[in-house]
Amino acid sequence: MHGLMMDTPLLISSIAEHAANFHGDREIVSVTMDNPRHRYTVGDAVPRARQLAGALDKLGLERGDRIATIAWNDYRHLEIYYGVSGAGYVCHTINPRLFPEQLVFIINHAEDRYICTDLMFVPLLEKLLPQIPNVEGFVIMTDAAHMPDTSLPNAVCYETMIAGESTDYDWPQFDERTASALCYTSGTTGDPKGVLYDHRSTVLHAYAAVAPDVMNLSSCDVVLPVVPLFHVNAWGIPYSTFMTGAKLVMPGPKMGDGEALYELIKSENVNLALGVPTVWLALLQYCEQSGQVLQSLERTVIGGAAVPRAMIEQFRKVHDVQTIQGWGMTEMSPLGTANTPKAGQESFTEDQRFDLATKAGRGIYGCELRIVDDEGQVLPWDGVAYGALQVRGPWICSDYYKLEGAAGTHTEDGWFDTGDVATIDPQGYMAITDRTKDVIKSGGEWISSIELENTAMGHPAVAEAAVIGVAHPKWTERPLLVIVAAEGQDIGKQELLDFFKGKVADWWIPNDVAFVDELPHTATGKIKKIELRRQFADYALPE
């Protein structure tokens, strides 16, 4: 027997309409290429998204066609999120920092019909043009006054395109499983793979994100997503802020600029900021050098890579900011875990709290977790056993776009293999020890590169650290610590290696330290281990 409840589809357009009805006066502040501080309200944004939807309908597109964006975080990009998906097209967000050949691959693989681009990326697209012949037109995200001379075919100015359209657009109603957005993984191994989200997965994921034990979002919050709109939908922030009426502050091209982020946080009273660890390094460094404290900030959601304990401590001790570590992937929309406290931890010492906060967090309702050994046997949640981390749930991909199972990432019993190796403790807190492909295997036993990196980051002379496995005649592989020294700091190898004593098992301590000026990063700001292993492929460890 079915229940007697309405079967209204979970559509992204319903989030926009909810926001317009209940939070119309809430501000959205953006830094854009043509305006250092643009401000308007949700009540301005939603009618403009409707106008865009109307304009798109006139381009002769079919439902499900891909419309790409190459743009920073700002209000026009946000309108495109709602206008494109709401009208039944697929919003394909592209990371502009990818290599040109990856951009070409992605645009052609997705069969993008139109590309919406920031002014800044017009020259890049002009160069790529001969290799992306199927793109029919380009929408330049600016006003008529800033419209450039360009060789891009059918280039229209965003403001001109939407200007004549009615603000009374009726959003189409369709199956909630209809595709809404497309995002490619960064392709650190092989070609990038497309993850195709749908309306249902997006709405459910946004519901999950606002929960008190996840991001704890409400209309009283002021949110700064430093995670890009082209990186897994900025962790769902465009949807969860509209669901709750939180004020949005978007940094545009100023993502990696510590001073600009500090100014935005201070002047807009930001209390929640989100991003990967590398962007916080820049902000914390700026604050330290200029003697500033982040007064308004209450919490940061940090994910995408392991969060060093030193960063968590600095946020808490210097700025009185809570760090919520999150873990997830493009394939997971991305949220899988969030690290927030649980009942029973009231008597924890500060040290215990910091220890716990370095873990990736506990499962969010909607994302099941399990760890399995090499034979696929499920491992216990004892905080010790580690194995391949697998997930299942309504916002986890069931396949990649146009790959039809070829990626081999799903198990026969319907779980997605994340490629991460993890432990889960009896309280349900998961800790990532490595990516499967980064694991260091010494004498048949695994050494966690992430734990060694975290330990190294705790030394004041270390600005950034990476640990990789290097070939060893007896142990197969041994860890090599590669560091960027903090400015003005001079430190010897032995002193650094001694720092590990008592903090990790003796046999985990790296065999050597290499000093570099800079570590290679991926387009999403993570350390590029593949590249680092290539650089140190012939490295001879000391006897």
* Window 392-431: contact mask with ligand ADP (x via CB under 6 A): --------------------------xxx-----------
Query: From the CB of residue 37, how many other CB atoms can be counted at a distance below 10 Å?
Result: 14
Exposure of 517 by Cβ count < 10 A (0-12 exposed, 13-18 middle, 19+ buried)? exposed
C-beta closer to ligand ADP: residue 178 or 314: 314
Q: Would residue 193 show up in a list of annotated catalytic residues for this protein?
A: no
| Distance, CA of 51 to CA of 67 (rounded, Å) | 16
C-beta closer to ligand ADP: residue 274 or 360: 360
Nearest distance from residue 422's CB to ligand ADP, in Å? 9
Decide: 227 and 524 in contact? Cβ < 8 Å.
no
C-beta closer to ligand ADP: residue 54 or 328: 328
* Window 432-451: contact mask with ligand ADP (x via CB under 6 A): x--x----------------
Between vectors from CA 180 to CA 179 and to CA 181, what angle results, nearest 5°?
Answer: 110
Nearest distance from residue 409's CB to ligand ADP, in Å? 11
DSSP per-residue letters across 161-208: HHHTS-S--------TTSEEEEEE---SSSS--EEEEEHHHHHHHHHH
Nearest distance from residue 203's CB to ligand ADP, in Å? 20
Q: Would residue 327 show up in a list of annotated catalytic residues for this protein?
A: no
CA 387 vs CA 140, 390, 422: distances in Å = 47, 9, 6
Q: Does 333 bind ligand ADP (CB under 6 A)?
A: no
Q: Dihedral of the CA atoms 78, 83, 88, 92 (nearest 10)?
A: -40
Q: From the list 94, 329, 391, 397, which residue makes contact with ligand ADP (rule: CB under 6 A)?
A: 329
CB burial of 472-483 (b: ≥16 within 10 Å; e: otherwise) equals: beebebbbbbbb
Query: From the CB of residue 257, how many other CB atoms can be counted at a distance below 10 Å?
Result: 17
Residues with Cβ < 8 Å from 525, sequence gap 6 or more? 276, 277, 278, 279, 304, 305
Nearest distance from residue 491's CB to ligand ADP, in Å? 26
Q: From the list 84, 162, 306, 456, which residue makes contact with ligand ADP (rule: CB under 6 A)?
A: 306
The residues in 500-529 that bind ligand ADP, with binding defined as CB under 6 A, are: 522, 524, 526
The active-site residue out of 127, 402, 437, 441 is 441
C-beta closer to ligand ADP: residue 123 or 428: 428
CA 446 vs CA 367, 382, 451, 499, 533: distances in Å = 27, 17, 12, 21, 17
DSSP, res 327: E
Q: Does 181 bind ligand ADP (CB under 6 A)?
A: no
Residue nearest to ligand ADP (CB): 186
* Window 74-113: contact mask with ligand ADP (x via CB under 6 A): ----------------------------------------
Taking CB under 6 A as the binding criterion, the range among 41-49, 207-215, 254-262, 302-310 that sits at the site for ligand ADP is: 302-310
The active-site residue out of 268, 331, 451, 453 is 331
The active-site residue out of 69, 185, 241, 524 is 185
Size of the site for ligand ADP (CB under 6 A): 21
C-beta closer to ligand ADP: residue 254 or 529: 529
Nearest distance from residue 318's CB to ligand ADP, in Å? 22
Q: E-assigned strands of 8-122?
A: 27-32, 35-41, 66-70, 90-93, 114-117
Q: Would residue 501 show up in a list of annotated catalytic residues for this protein?
A: no
Q: Does 304 bind ligand ADP (CB under 6 A)?
A: yes
Q: Does 305 bind ligand ADP (CB under 6 A)?
A: yes
What residue has token string 């640990």? 467
Q: Does 323 bind ligand ADP (CB under 6 A)?
A: no
Q: How far apart are the first and last CA of the chain?
A: 72
DSSP per-residue letters across 340-356: ---TT-TT--HHHHHHH
Q: Which residues bind ligand ADP (CB under 6 A)?
A: 185-186, 188, 303-306, 325, 327, 329-330, 334, 360, 418-420, 432, 435, 522, 524, 526
Active site positions, annotated: 185, 331, 441, 446
